[in-house]
C-alpha cells in the first residue's frame, strides 16, 4: 500500500509504503538493500532532479520502526532545508536506534500488551 503525506512547515510530500513489495515496485534500485530491513527512509531524485522522500514500514504496526524511520526523515528534511543537522550530528543511525530503544522501554513499562 502506498500513500502520500505532507510534512509542515516544509510542505514536503512524503511517499509512505506499507510492506516491501509496493516500495520495491516504486523504487526497484533499493530492492537488494531491503531484504534484512523492517523499515527504510530514503531520499530519491525525480527525473527533474527534485527531491523525493519515501518511507517504508512493515505490514504490521510497529511503533519502534515508525519512530526510528521518522527520526531519519527529520534529519533528512532539516538537512535538505539548510539546518545542517548532518554536520552537527555525525551519526543519525545511532540516534535512531537509541530513540527506538527508548520507545520500546517506555512501551514495556507503561503500555504492556500493546
Residue 56's pLDDT is 92
Residue 86's pLDDT is 56
pLDDT in tens, the chain (114 residues): 899 998 888 878 889 999 889 899 988 888 888 878 889 999 988 888 888 899 999 888 888 899 999 988 888 888 888 876 655 556 677 777 878 876 787 677 766 766
Residue 81's pLDDT is 83
Q: Which residues contact 58 (CB under 8 A, 6 or more apart)?
A: 18, 19, 38, 39, 65
| The model's pTM | 0.79
Count of the separate structural domains present in the chain: 1
76, with CB counted inside 10 A (0-12, 13-18, 19+), is: buried
Residue 76 is part of which domain span?
Answer: 2-110
Amino acid at each position: 500500500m502506498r500513500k502520500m503525506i505532507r510534512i509542515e512547515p516544509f510542505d514536503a510530500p512524503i511517499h509512505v509504503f506499507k510492506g516491501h513489495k509496493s516500495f520495491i515496485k516504486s523504487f526497484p534500485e533499493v530492492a537488494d538493500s531491503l531484504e534484512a530491513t523492517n523499515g527504510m527512509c530514503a531520499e530519491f531524485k525525480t527525473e527533474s532532479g527534485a527531491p523525493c522522500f519515501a518511507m517504508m514500514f512493515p505490514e504490521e504496526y510497529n511503533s519502534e520502526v515508525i519512530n526510528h524511520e521518522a527520526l531519519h526523515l527529520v534529519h533528512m528534511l532539516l538537512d535538505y532545508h539548510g539546518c545542517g543537522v548532518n554536520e552537527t550530528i555525525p551519526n543519525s543511525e545511532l540516534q535512531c536506534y537509541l530513540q527506538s530503544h527508548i520507545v520500546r522501554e517506555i512501551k514495556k513499562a507503561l503500555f504492556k500488551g500493546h
